[in-house]
A = this chain, B = another copy of it.
């Protein structure tokens, strides 16, 4: 369905307003698809996001402030998100010896296993996207999104 019929709005002020609305709508649309999967594993999408970041640095551990910086949703409270992961044994905190303000967070084996377990379903979502867009189109979309963010 086109955006117009989806949200029942016929006219837009200009191409950029339409783009803004479409971008948010499509991002939410995809978010809801993933959310079902996250819920099955008792994760929020933010918690998953943190786990993914931790896996990317699983050897060394990541400071809380670095996690916050890399998160897609900048306003999230990384400290509390990590509390949740801790409570589920998906991550662990280790105080950083050379800077006692900092806290290194590391993903546990259990956390890695959870990500592993979710992989097939995520791949399935990605495969379904590949039915709609060719790889070239997906790359092109990415390039346009990157370009959009260049504006001040």
- A-side residues, CB < 8 A to B, are 1-3, 6-9, 13-32, 34, 53, 56, 69-70, 72-75, 122-123, 125-133, 135, 137-142, 144-152
List, sorted by A's number, 22 A–B pairs whose CB atoms are closer than 8 Å: A1-B150, A3-B142, A7-B70, A9-B70, A15-B135, A16-B127, A18-B138, A19-B129, A20-B125, A22-B141, A22-B145, A23-B30, A24-B30, A26-B148, A26-B149, A128-B151, A131-B151, A132-B147, A132-B149, A133-B147, A133-B148, A141-B145
A34 to B152, CA, bound (A): 13
On whether A151 and B129 interact (CB within 8 A), knowing A30-B23, A30-B24, A146-B3, the answer reads yes
A74 to B27, CA, bound (A): 12
A122 to B18, CA, bound (A): 12
A146 in complex: contacting residue of B2, B13, B27, B56, CB < 8 Å: B2
Q: Which residue of B lies closest to A3 (CB)?
A: B146
A15 touches B152 (CB 8 A): no
B142 touches A141 (CB 8 A): no
B151 touches A15 (CB 8 A): no
**Smallest CB–CB gap between A48 and chain B, Å?**
11
B139 touches A15 (CB 8 A): yes
A141 touches B148 (CB 8 A): yes
Interface of A is mostly: helix
A32 to B23, CA, bound (A): 13
Q: Which residues of B contact A132 (CB under 8 A)?
A: 147-151
Q: Which residues of B contact A150 (CB under 8 A)?
A: 1, 132
